[in-house]
Amino acid sequence: MPHKYLLSISSKLAFGALVLTAQPAEATQPLAEFLAGARSQSFDAREQEATIRQRDWEAEAARGRLLPSFLARGTYTHNQYGAELAPGTFPGQTESLTLTPQNQLDATFQLDIPLVDLASHSRFVQSKHLAKATQLGRETTATDLERAVTQAYYTFIGAAALKHAAERSLKIANENLEYVTTRSQLGAATELDRERAISNVERSKQDLTDAQLISITAGRNLQTLSGLTASPVSEYPVDDLRQEASLESWMANQDTPYDRVQKELSLAAQAAKKASARALLPTLSASAQERISNATGFTGQAASYTLSAMLSWRLDYGTYSTAQAQAAAADVQTIQAERTRRNVADTIFEAYHRVEASIAKSRSARAEAESAQKAAQLSMDRYQAGAVTQLDVTQSQRDAFQADASRIKADADLAYARVLLRIAAGKPATVPPSTSKSIPVSSETSTPASSPEVQHSTPSTPPADPVDKPLPTP
């Protein structure tokens, strides 16, 4: 199999199952475990949680501007000259009045209460919607992670399947070489046959090396995304090739995480528009202040309070322009929400038809793999009978491996497409168990060539498609 072909397989979304001799074995962790790990340990999830805390406190800061505020201030002032009025300066004055003490002490306690500030109230509403949108963004982040983890998961499983297929192909090539060498020693095979068998072995080694590299890098990617180390793979899902429910039933859902986030962002944009417009309106506030000082002045009282109410109205072109800009921003957000809805619908549409196409490709790939394995066996039988050359044998073995690799890719594309459809529609990122079965795989699968010196058995062929319950309606 050419190196370029192997690389093209690794670049695809996922891999599927390869049928080998059944033997009891343990499978790697379920997809749900990697998804749960990604939600709590991935960099994106942790960053999203920190952003949520930031937005929550920004909302609280906006709330604080609507609540009363308290100020306490103490001041010490040294004056070069003090000023006092002696007793009797004014009629009836019996005590001295300190106008300016040389060492002056002041304590001020002030309470400010905003009474009417519509602009600040709208900004608070805006901040609440932004905070909620960020919280809902946790779901969109999880959705993106689910896509990435699912892709890495099926790539890892398929890479292991490809590795097993490469090991099996190498074993068959080695046994073919052993058989041809024995025939050559007996004078029944040519040196050309032996060199072709050697070439086939070396190419199979390259296939195995490429498959091992794909497996290693896929496992690393899965660990980076989920924080979990995948255990060795030895079981692979086999889809039952059932059709999904109707496209209309999938498209009907318009309450996906992306839709909910856009709804909150639209409400925030509308609140920002109101805040900018209300900035042109007057504001009303009240203030209460208590002052304690040794500069008693003419009252002769160390402590005194003041109450005030303030009506403020500011008109300027900058405020008006900001209001118009926020109105335009609200229109932009409306368009973005419409685009997001269309993108979600397009994603569901594409994923649905990708499932349909993958079902057809997987069914065809399974038939191709079965026929290629039978052809490999027939070519060996005919070579033993002297009816074909060793070139036909090695080519049929290469064709069988390529067919197995195509089946792996097709089955995995289907598995990933089913999960992607559910993610796009806002459903749990798992395929119901009724849609697939698992088959155990072991690398202990030999197919020795049959001859008076070496035994040969027919490679195992894919079983018939399993029949399970139909898929539930989403």
CATH value at residue 263: 1.20.1600.10
Is residue 154 within 8 Å of residue 14, measured between CB atoms? yes
Lowest mean pLDDT among 11-20, 341-350, 352-361: 11-20
- 321 Cα distance to chain centroid: 39
The pLDDT assigned to 438 comes to 54
Flag whether pLDDT at 18 surpasses 50: no
Asked if the structure places residue 418 within a domain, the reply is yes
Classify burial at 207, counting beta carbons within 10 Å of its beta carbon; exposed 0-12, middle 13-18, buried 19 or more: buried
**Average confidence (pLDDT) over 312-333:** 89
Flag whether pLDDT at 247 surpasses 60: yes
Is residue 399 within 8 Å of residue 375, measured between CB atoms? yes
Is residue 390 within 8 Å of residue 180, measured between CB atoms? yes
Flag whether pLDDT at 353 surpasses 80: yes
Tell me the angle at which helices 191-226 and 3-10 cross, rounded to the nearest 10 degrees: 20
Asked if the structure places residue 91 within a domain, the reply is no
Lowest mean pLDDT among 61-75, 172-186, 258-272, 433-447: 433-447
How confident is residue 289, by pLDDT bands cut at 50, 70 and 90? very high
Question: Residue 458 gets which letter from DSSP?
Answer: P
Lowest mean pLDDT among 101-105, 293-297, 304-308, 437-441: 437-441
Q: HSE-up of 291 (CA within 13 Å, CB side)?
A: 15
CA angle 384, 388, 394 (to 5 degrees): 85
Asked if the structure places residue 182 within a domain, the reply is yes
- Name residues whose C-beta falls within 8 Å of residue 43's C-beta, 6 or more positions apart in sequence: none
Amino acid identity of 382?
Answer: R
Please give the C-alpha separations between residue 45 and each of 38, 53, 84, 267, in angstroms, as whole numbers. 7, 13, 69, 25
How confident is residue 309, by pLDDT bands cut at 50, 70 and 90? very high
The pLDDT assigned to 472 comes to 33
Between CA 100 and CA 82 the distance in angstroms is: 5
Domain count, the chain: 1
Q: Where are the alpha helices (DSSP H) in 105-190?
A: 118-185
Neighbouring C-beta atoms of residue 399, cutoff 10 Å = 18
Between CA 206 and CA 193 the distance in angstroms is: 20
The pLDDT assigned to 356 comes to 93
CA angle 393, 396, 400 (to 5 degrees): 135
Residue with tokens 């504001």: 283
Asked if the structure places residue 89 within a domain, the reply is no
Asked if the structure places residue 90 within a domain, the reply is no
How confident is residue 433, by pLDDT bands cut at 50, 70 and 90? low
Please give the C-alpha separations between residue 234 and each of 160, 223, 238, 403, 414, in angstroms, as whole numbers. 8, 18, 13, 20, 19
Domain range spanning residue 316?
Answer: 1-78+97-474
Asked if the structure places residue 84 within a domain, the reply is no
- 122 Cα distance to chain centroid: 33
Between CA 321 and CA 87 the distance in angstroms is: 62
Q: Which residue has the higher pLDDT, 300 or 71?
A: 71
Asked if the structure places residue 43 within a domain, the reply is yes
3-state secondary structure of 374: helix
Asked if the structure places residue 162 within a domain, the reply is yes
Residues forming a β-bridge with 78: 103
Question: Residue 211 gets which letter from DSSP?
Answer: H
